[in-house]
Amino acid sequence: MPEYKAPVRDMKFVMQELLDCDSHYQKLGYEDASLDMVNAIVSEAAKLTEQVIAPINQTGDEQGCTWTDGEVTTPDGFKDAYQQYVEGGWPTLAQSVDFGGQGLPHSLNMAINEFFSGANHSFAMYPGLSHGALATIEEHGSDIQKNTFMPKLVDGTWTGTMCLTEPHCGTDLGMLRTKAELNDDGSYAISGTKIFISAGDHDLSDNIVHIVIARIPGSPEGSRGISLFIVPKFNVTEAGDVADRNAVSCGSIEHKMGINANATCVINFDGAKGYLIGEINRGLNCMFTFMNAARLGVASEGVAAADASFQGALAYAQDRLQMRSLTGVKNPDGPADPIIVHPDVRRMLLTQKSIAEGGRALIGYLAQLVDIGHASKDEAEKATAESKLALLTPIAKAFLTEAGLECTNHGIQIFGGHGFIKEWGMEQLMRDTRISCLYEGTTGIQALDLLARKVLGSKGEILKPFGADVTAFCVENLTDEAMQEFIKPIMAYSADWQKMTESIGMKAMKNPDEIGGASVDYLMYSGYLVLAYFWAKMAKVAQDKLAASDDDKAFYQAKIKTARFYFQRILPRASGHAACLANGTESMMELDSEDFIF
């Protein structure tokens, strides 16, 4: 199993040197988030990750969760690790001080979540899901609901889930059948079956608070008739203590390709007591609150997986001796050269490295936009941040999870046949991260959200705030000789991006299917370009640091060299997507459904 090391140095580079989190936090009034505090938290999180969470990753996969008599047991060590996570106060980090939280910035929480996820995807999902439930209650719940449910969700004594999917509806939630009937006491009786409920049942916490979408009889059909409910596994007293069992049960758990240590549950609600959150029939709108945050969390899983696989593959490539370099013997004392001398091995390693580090920068930036959305008092600044976040979230979610999957695949390939063997842990990374392209909206759904709803839906307006940043950065560095290799391609690809967007918009007016047919290629193009921008910004920081002092020289030089690799060998892939997309949708639509196979 590859030994996971939390990427502390690089995380600090992103947070502090690239994104100046110190000024950012102070400006938003996060007074406790001093640099010293940030450094201490990042270091402590790294320690917990490496010593407690990483060691149960492979055993968790082997053992998986078990389901006996309607109860789920997590693999050995998970309960203890979760206990340590709770005792360390980690669930409270970015939660509101009103409910026992530490009130630290969300972006700090996002940063350390990458560590947890990189070390153990399955484990990181348990607290991850709680976060969605918490955000929903905080944003839309009544005061009583907040006081009842939040303190124990905040301190991690309880965990949460999101119950959306049903057997016949995933993407198309308007088709849901779960019913919510009003009880005499103002609560609702919830009945129905939900599937694919991550962390839906387990033995880590004293109670599980399900956030459930359901339809109240008489509500409109489709997505305008969806309401949202809090449904705890155990009923809760007014004092917020666990009481008797609610009519919620885990019907079975799924056997899956990966994330075996996270229980994916069928949850049956048999007239379970539930409490309406927000207004009747406005459930889907309430969901959107947490959905963007959740999607960002999943994007971060892609980065984490790429990085974990990179770490394993790099160690192997430095160690494994096989063949000689084509340019002459590099390891004369050994029977062969380490495989890192071979260009194609380096191509794969640098792909992993440039995706992991570039993705980390993008996530770090988006997490700061989330901070602004939460904490800024400047409405204009807030609106700009939310617009950028709306544009970049589907790109980050889909692009980084697809790229993460690719990177874990490279990790296997670098190990050769050994990559296919479970013992080495490389194939688990690929199996685990495969889910990230599916849940919280598939790649196709993100692509439609980006192109149809956001870009074309706003007639391109949504591109402007982020586009202005990119343009400003290019203009600023236009005369910097050393930045030419980065600025020029960004300008060229951006210009093409704009033309491409206009061209799809024109075609879509005649035929809306042009949007769906272009969407994934458009999203991937956007992803390569957005990451290029962050790589250019990182290269600029590194250049400035090198000019200013001799400290950490190798680190900053490596940044510039990795940026160069990204621009030369990864960004040009975007032209392949552009070329495919330019040919439109006609060739996809002309085959009748029954003529696909004879």
- Known catalytic residue: 3? no
Question: Which residues 217-276 are close enough to bind a copy of itself by CB under 8 A?
Answer: 254-258
Dihedral, 434, 435, 439, 441 alpha carbons, nearest 10: 10
Are 400 and 297 in contact by the 8 Å Cβ rule? The answer is no
The C-alpha atoms of residue 114 and residue 121 are separated, in whole angstroms, by: 9
Q: Does 515 bind a copy of itself (CB under 8 A)?
A: yes
Contact pick of 10, 138, 166, 371 for a copy of itself (by CB under 8 A): 10
How buried is 172 (Cβ within 10 angstroms: 0-12 exposed, 13-18 middle, 19+ buried)? exposed
Nearer to a copy of itself, 261 or 276 (CB): 261
Given candidates 65, 108, 448, 474, which one binds a copy of itself under the rule CB under 8 A? Answer: 448
Residue closer to a copy of itself (CB basis): 132 or 274: 132
- Using the rule CB under 8 A, is 562 a contact of a copy of itself? yes
Tell me the site size for a copy of itself, rule CB under 8 A: 111
Q: Which of 279, 343, 475, 482 binds a copy of itself (CB under 8 A)?
A: 343
Q: Is the four-CA dihedral 169, 172, 173, 177 of positive or negative sign? A: negative
Binding residue (CB under 8 A) for a copy of itself from 3, 9, 183, 498? 9
Site for a copy of itself in 312-341 (CB under 8 A): 314, 318, 321-323, 325-327, 335-336, 338, 340-341
Tell which positions 416-435 bind a copy of itself, by CB under 8 A.
Answer: 416-417, 419-423, 427, 430-431, 434-435
Query: 251 vs 467, which CB is nearer to a copy of itself?
Result: 251
| Cα–Cα distance for residue pair 15/46, rounded to 1 Å | 15
| 49-108 positions binding a copy of itself, by CB under 8 A | none
Which one of residues 520, 529, 530, 538 is an interface residue with a copy of itself (CB under 8 A)? 520
Closest to a copy of itself by CB, 533 or 565: 565
Q: Distance between CA 146 and CA 141 in Å, rounded?
A: 6
Which residue stretch of 228-236, 342-350, 393-401, 459-467 sits at the interface with a copy of itself (rule: CB under 8 A)? 342-350
Please tell me whether residue 453 binds a copy of itself under the rule CB under 8 A. no
- Residue 165 within binding range of a copy of itself, rule CB under 8 A: yes
Q: Considering only residues 51, 66, 498, 511, which one is a binding residue for a copy of itself as defined by CB under 8 A? A: 511
Answer for the pair 193, 178: CB distance below 8 angstroms, yes or no: yes
Q: Which CB, 63 or 325, lies closer to a copy of itself?
A: 325
Nearer to a copy of itself, 279 or 420 (CB): 420
Specify the 3-state DSSP secondary structure of 182.
Answer: strand
> Per the residue annotation, which of 138, 357, 440, 514 is the catalytic one?
440
User: Are 443 and 520 a contacting pair, CB within 8 Å?
Assistant: yes
**Structure-token pair, residue 125:** 């999902």
Nearer to a copy of itself, 159 or 264 (CB): 264
The one-character DSSP state at 453 is I
H/E/C letters for each residue in 76-145? CCHHHHHHHHHHCCHHHCCCCHHHCCCCCCHHHHHHHHHHHHHHCHHHHHHHHHHHHHHHHHHHHCCHHH
Would you count residue 384 as binding a copy of itself (CB under 8 A)? no
Write down the least CB distance from residue 407 to a copy of itself, Å.
14
**Which CB, 17 or 386, lies closer to a copy of itself?**
17
Distance CA(395)–CA(12), nearest Å, equals 24
Sign of CA dihedral 524, 529, 531, 532: positive
DSSP one-letter string for 10-59 = HHHIIIIIIT-HHHHHHHTT-TT--HHHHHHHHHHHHHHIIIIIGGGHHH
Stretch of 76-84, 86-94, 509-517, 542-550 lying at the interface with a copy of itself (CB under 8 A): 509-517
Residue with smaller CB distance to a copy of itself, 239 or 597: 597
d(CA 306, CA 319): 20
Q: What is the distance in angstroms between the CA of the first residue and the CA of the last residue of the chain?
A: 46
CB of 262 to a copy of itself, least distance (A): 12
Q: Does 193 bind a copy of itself (CB under 8 A)?
A: no
Cβ 369 to a copy of itself shortest distance, Å: 27
Q: Scanning residues 567 to 596, which ones bind a copy of itself (CB under 8 A)?
A: 567-570, 572-577, 579-580, 582-593, 595-596
Please identify which residue in the block is written with the tokens 């879509």. 508
Listed residue (580, 584, 444) closest to 506, CA to CA: 584
Q: State yes or no: residue 369 binds a copy of itself (CB under 8 A).
A: no
Q: Is 412 in the site for a copy of itself (CB under 8 A)?
A: yes
Question: Binding residue for a copy of itself (CB under 8 A) from 136, 368, 443, 477?
Answer: 443
Which among 104, 527, 150 has a CA at the least distance from the CA of 354? Answer: 527
Q: Is 346 in the site for a copy of itself (CB under 8 A)?
A: yes
Residue indicated by tokens 């939660």: 95
Residues 17-36 that bind a copy of itself (CB under 8 A): none
CA separation for the pair 370, 536 (Å, rounded): 23
Residue numbers annotated as active site: 440
